[in-house]
Amino acid sequence: MGEPISLSFNDRYFYKQDGLGESSYVFINGNDLTNRWKRLKKHESFTIGELGFGTGLNFLNALKEWKTFQREAKLNFISIERFPLALKDLKKALANFPDLKNETNALLQLYPPLSRGFHRINFEENNASLTLIFDDVDRGLDDLQKTTKTFDAWFLDGFSPKENPKMWSSKILSGISNLSHSETTLSSFSAASIIKKSLEENDFNISLVDGYKHKRHMIKAYSNSSNTKSDSNRKKIAIVGAGISGSCLANSLAKRGHHVTVFEKNSNQKNGIPSFVGNPNLSHANTPYGRFLLASYLFFSLYYSKYCPNSWNETGVIVLKDEKGNYKKLEKIFRQINDSDFISKVDKDLLLSMGLDDLDKDALYFPKTGWLKTQSAINELLKNDNIKLKEEEVIEIKNLNEDQKELISNKAKYLFDEICLCNSFNAKNLIELHGANKKRGQVTEVKKPKEDINLPICGQGYISPYSKNNLLIGSSYSNDESHLPSNHDDEENLLKINQMLGLELEKIKNHVSFRFTTKDHLPLLGYKEGLILNLGHGSKGSVNSPLCAEIICDFIDGDPLPIDSALYEALNPNRFNS
């Protein structure tokens, strides 16, 4: 394989002869990482920031070293890259490094589509996460300064200052300085005067040391910041509500070592909707709402595959062309993201295999989604030694002080460090909420037809596999507050599928549930009156919940968030107060 060259900056990504050796010398040794990693405490986070992801060589090298020296701490690696490589080019470039084969294969399997913004990839087996920010470096750093506390080390690996001066400007180094604490280190392959000057202007002590092999010098630097690194204490956390959002959050917190107690007044009662479809209800618009839909969609399937292997069915989903639906937006995304692993036109053979050869409609296929057995997934998510499930009704919550809350149930009183409300519209019994309302939904269970519907098909409504002999179709959406099944809603569901696919289906039974939805269709996520809210997911809870759990875990732990600051602010649960 040859040396990959950036056409934007007319510079090499690495030297083929010993790119891995240079990465270790400049960034691993340059920041004394192996010695610092050995000293980390259990559950402590170590955060690396990188300017210029390029081929991912530095991340993969750091991940391999991390696996050698750490088992109980957590690595956060955040990299900003304006011109990300396509998957095929990344694969070709990394073939130069057989010593990183395992790490490379893991990255290639999880590498996101090249959409602008934040992308979180977790490597759970190694207690490591990679957050890729596909954006301009100044915009990426501005975002991080609004939501992130501090970094422990910086890799400055942009293209040469001559070809890419913006990357090395005093403004950029000021952002890095703001995100550093008193023990933060920095290293760079370049010892150019512009870099030395910018670092000195932004409160770094600089050392010029021997460069790698053919290079005369490189830079090592130490921050003079008065900021301190936040602690990594594990917490006692209560979660009110054992639905899909509460169970995802409980699982994610427990995996990070927190001690979680889940309160559910009806823990033996089955969830109202027996299965959920991972409908790719996406938007092409670069708005907080559009970015949230995409980020949630890209995150959720990997999460369920990992933590709900017996409940998650990654069959793919077909979306039919429908003037009343979301198809036009999805077509624009199809044109913008040229990635068949993410979205493609439906192969007619797929329709033939299901007996839908008479279907004459344009359709899109999303391979990395599917359908989830709800109660089975909840059971899998809550199966963790750090999770206790209590069948108790929460009556009242009191903020005793900044660090301690009292939860009063119908059976006892408890003290917690944090309390998270994940109990949908029932949260209104514990806290005043604005901008969200209860909506009724009904799905209909039908007998399998002769056609072999082996994956969800969405359009005006949806039809999905469910059990050996039955399918689910749905879903109705209304302001009706009745818990009783509605024949009208069943007829409406049956009519939608008939109009979509021409199928005459036989009803078996139905299932009723209630959604809690906000005026802007974004969830209520974050602190309100000292409590953490995770509410208002509407009909997208199964898709949104894994990412929302990740966001909450990160702000509890003081780790960098997986979303941009504008989106984080758009989720603020206080936004409807006025």
Identify the band that residue 268 occupies on the pLDDT scale cut at 50, 70 and 90: low
3-state secondary structure of 225: coil
Q: What is the mean pLDDT of residues 266-292?
A: 86
Q: Give me the residues paired with residue 249 across strands.
A: none
Segment 54-86, tens digit of pLDDT: 999 999 999 999 999 878 999 999 999 999 999
The pLDDT assigned to 271 comes to 59
- In degrees and rounded to multiples of 5, residue 388 shows phi and psi of -115, 135
Answer whether residue 111 shows pLDDT above 90: yes
H/E stretch holding 196 reads helix 193-201
pLDDT at 2 over 60: no
- Band the pLDDT of 325: cuts 50, 70, 90: low
Look at 60-64, 262-266, 530-534 and tell me which has the smallest mean pLDDT. 262-266
Lowest mean per-residue pLDDT among 31-45, 148-162, 530-544: 148-162
What DSSP state is assigned to residue 537?
B
pTM, two decimal places: 0.94
Question: What is the pLDDT confidence band of residue 9, given thresholds at 50, 70 and 90?
Answer: very low
Q: Give per-residue pLDDT as tens, 154-179.
A: 999 976 777 777 788 889 999 999 99
Q: How confident is the model at residue 13 (pLDDT cuts 50, 70, 90)?
A: very low
The pLDDT tens digits for 184-196 are 999 999 888 888 9
How much is the mean pLDDT over the chain?
A: 92
pLDDT tens figures, 513-522: 999 999 999 9
Q: What are the pLDDT digits (tens) for 113-150?
A: 999 999 999 999 999 999 999 999 999 999 999 998 89
Distance between CA atoms of residues 437 and 146, nearest Å: 30
Per-residue pLDDT averaged across 242-251, rounded? Answer: 97
Strand partners, 12: 5
Q: What percent of the chain has pLDDT over 70?
A: 95
Q: Where are the beta strands (DSSP E) in 83-159?
A: 117-123, 128-134, 151-156
- Which residue in the block uniquely carries the two structure tokens 């690696």? 77
Closest CA to 376 of 423, 464, 312, 314: 312
pLDDT on residue 323: 63
CB atoms within 10 A of CB 12: 15
pLDDT at position 6? 47
Both tokens of 71, joined, read 């088992």
Q: How far apart are CA 334 and CA 140, in angstroms?
A: 26
The whole-number pLDDT of residue 407 equals 98
pLDDT, tens digit, 9 for 90 and up, residues 350-400? 888 888 877 888 899 999 999 999 999 999 999 999 999 999 999 999 999
| 455 vs 215, residue with greater confidence | 455
DSSP 338-350: --TTT-EEPPHHH
List Cα–Cα distances, 288 to 285, 480, 568, in angstroms: 9, 30, 8
